[in-house]
Amino acid sequence: MRNRGKRTVLGLTILLLAGAGLQCTNSDVLSPAPGQLKLSVQVSPAGSSKYELGSVDLVQLTFRPQDPVADAALGAQPYSLVSSPVRIDLTTSTPFQVSSVGVKPGVYRVVTVRIQGPIAQDFNFTPNPPEGTPCVDKVLAREGVDGKLPPPEILPAQVNVPIDVTGFDPAPTFELVGAEQTTLTLTLDGTAFFTLFQDAFTCRENGSCIRGNQTFPAPCMSLYTSPTPDQILPLIHFQ
């Protein structure tokens, strides 16, 4: 809906849920143009009942023309709204602007959202947890771990795997009209992402941990399996 030369398209909602970036900037649409496209991010709901700190990188958001002729003329390389990774705090719902680019008038659809590098930390951990404490809480309560995900036995490189979310159905769309300004708002479900991230670790209750050259008996995170795009996609909503 027009509003004195300003158009707002709200409601791209994604989780979750970080780098190798997509090399997909196209100068034809990002060169000076009549329309101005802004990307903003908001986390809602934000926070976790367990983790006081948590974040993830938004590495890329690509889009293409909705018009078949314009889309074919574009070729294989989509347009980009994120030129470098943006760290998103999953504990606050305060919206913020990520980018602003000049875009030719037309209707466009979002193609890919790439996230990478999630982290979380529980500061209220309890040393010497009592019997019946879940395995993950025993790991995060261990001396030297400081309630962090990933913990020391999981290399950051294993967690820092890019996740490309595609297959939006229907694809979120937005329109640039003349000299109007359009804002595309990307909303991440931070609360659900915390759960998805924790569940990606396999906790071993019994056995030995290996940290550097040391081996000692303790509960450990023995494996990390990155969430798949299909796991994240159901958490994405469009309004």
Segment 131-146, tens digit of pLDDT:
889 999 999 988 888 8
Higher pLDDT, 10 or 109: 109
Quick one: residue 136, left, alpha or beta (phi over 0 = left, psi -120 to 50 = alpha)? alpha
Segment 90-109, tens digit of pLDDT:
999 999 999 999 999 999 99
Structure pTM? 0.83
Find the mean pLDDT for residues 43-68: 95
Q: Which residues contact 114 (CB under 8 A, 6 or more apart)?
A: 21, 22, 58, 59, 60, 61, 162, 163, 164, 165
> Distances from the Cα of 195 to the Cαs of 56, 90, 186, 208, 224, in angstroms?
13, 12, 20, 26, 14
